[in-house]
Amino acid sequence: MSEEFKVEIVNPEVSFLSKEDVTEVIVPAFEGEMGILKDHISIISFLKPGILTIHTKSGEHKFYVEDGIFEFKNNNLSVLTSSIFDLKKIEKSMLMNLIKVAEEEASKEEIDDQSRFLIDQKIEVLKSLN
Amino acid sequence: MASLDDLKKRITSVKSTQKITKAMKMVAAAKLKRAQESAEKGRPYSEKMNNIILNLSNGVSDKETAPKLLSGTGKDKIHLCVVMTSDRGLCGGFNSNIIKKVKTYFGEILKEGKELKIITVGSKGNDQLKRQYGNKIIENISFKNSKNANYSDAEKVGRTIIEKFEDEEFDICTIFYNQFKNVITQIPQAQKIIPLNTESTDDNKLEDSYEFEPDEDEILNNLLPKNISTQIFKAMLENSASEQGARMSAMDNATRNAGEMVDKLTIQYNRSRQAAITKELIEIISGAESL
């Protein structure tokens, strides 16, 4: 029996990626990273900033995501996100820019704990990429 | 009757108008293709989003504790209408169709004694509503600078709406836009986004029970604002495709009308030229006869 399932990543402007031969996906879910294999129970959760890794037979593929939600159902994983970048294509200057924006955000005082947590997370992930 | 020179000038001017409308039609056609493509590409996202929300809201058993963005404030007093129009003119009935629909809706609301607030997206709608409902317009958002509809613009509108909702400035929010059916037909649409219409049409909604992490309420709280932006983005995409479609057919008509006008003027020009020649001949002949 094959151990593969389908992944679809869509953002509002375009269907970003669609793969049929995926063996495992590691998603940065809000409450911690989560590995999803075939026949996982139906689940809905949202993402925090982090690295989304897709394993296929031919290798792995990494993406940086900022937010979004995902749904797994009938061996079909749909990730909805408004900000996703292919790690292979992401450029240094873009990365620096993202960090700068995030740090500016973090320096504001009036944000609540949850968004502060998310921003700190974002900066951490971005710096680790750098 | 106009002199020959005048006629000639008019013919040239109509011809150059025709050239312009023809060029505009071509531009609109090219833009339409792009707008249509992006509308199609954007569809999966909003559909998936909708599905997830439907699934989630079915999981929320207690309507009392449900997030307000989903269930509304329970009141029905203040209506917020987001009217989406174009920033540029010369697109036929595109804007006036929306405005017509909107005005009927406004009339109903005001007749029922409810309060009305308006946000206009796109400057043309603002221009048309200003006269009658100027004091009701609380905000005018325009994206003249962005070339295509993009998501961050939609997010801006979404955020404004959510902020106003959280400040309890309104109870019900409806967006108005033109749905793109084909190049000739655009259908003005009214869509209620707060509270959300969760009556699902498909029958398989209960087949699945989901696991949620964290719980439903928290996901919903996170998701609903996004959904509003998504719905607005969808409306923006539909609207921009419709705008280009409407402009294309309007300009096509204009080109055709200009062509007809040129034909008519040319006939008139030739006739009067001939009349002038005949007149001269008569003068010469009668002059020769009198000798």
pLDDT at A1 over 70: no
B30 inside domain: no
Q: Element (H or E) spanning A88, and its range?
A: none
B29 inside domain: no
To the nearest whole Å, the CA of A8 is away from the closest chain B CA by: 10
The CATH H-level (homologous superfamily) assignment of domain A5-86 is: F0F1 ATP synthase delta/epsilon subunit, N-terminal (2.60.15.10)
- The predicted pLDDT at position B203 comes to 47
Query: Among A6, A13, A112, which would you mutate to test the B interface (most chain B Cβ atoms within 10 Å of its Cβ)?
Result: A13
Question: Does the active-site annotation cover B173?
Answer: no
Q: B18 touching A, CB under 8 A?
A: no
Q: Assess whether B125 and B17 both reside in one domain.
A: no
Q: How many helices (H) and strands (E) does chain B have?
A: 6, 6
Structure tokens at B283: 């003068």
Task: Give the contacts of B202 (CB within 8 A, at least 6 positions apart).
Answer: none
Q: Assess whether B98 and B212 both reside in one domain.
A: yes
Query: Is residue B247 within 8 Å of residue B20, measured between CB atoms?
Result: no
Q: Is the peptide bond before B67 cis (omega within 30 degrees of 0)?
A: no
pLDDT at A19 over 60: yes
Q: Assess whether B98 and B175 both reside in one domain.
A: yes
Q: Assess whether B96 and B209 both reside in one domain.
A: yes
Q: Assess whether B111 and B193 both reside in one domain.
A: yes
- The predicted pLDDT at position B24 comes to 94
Q: Locate CATH 2.60.15.10 in chain A.
A: 5-86
Q: Assess whether B61 and B73 both reside in one domain.
A: yes
Tally of structural domains, chain B: 2
B106-136 CB burial, b ≥16 within 10 A, e <16: beebeeeeeebbbbbbbbbbbebbeeebeee
To the nearest whole Å, the CA of B238 is away from the closest chain A CA by: 13
To the nearest whole Å, the CA of A117 is away from the closest chain B CA by: 15
Structural domain that includes position B284: 4-21+251-289
Question: Which of residues A116 and A65 earns the better pLDDT score?
Answer: A65
B27 inside domain: no
Q: Would you call A11 and B45 a contact, using CB atoms and an 8 Å cutoff?
A: yes
Under-70 pLDDT residues of chain B: 1, 59-65, 198-208
ipTM for this model: 0.78
Q: Would you call B219 and A44 a contact, using CB atoms and an 8 Å cutoff?
A: yes
CATH number at residue B17: 1.10.287.80
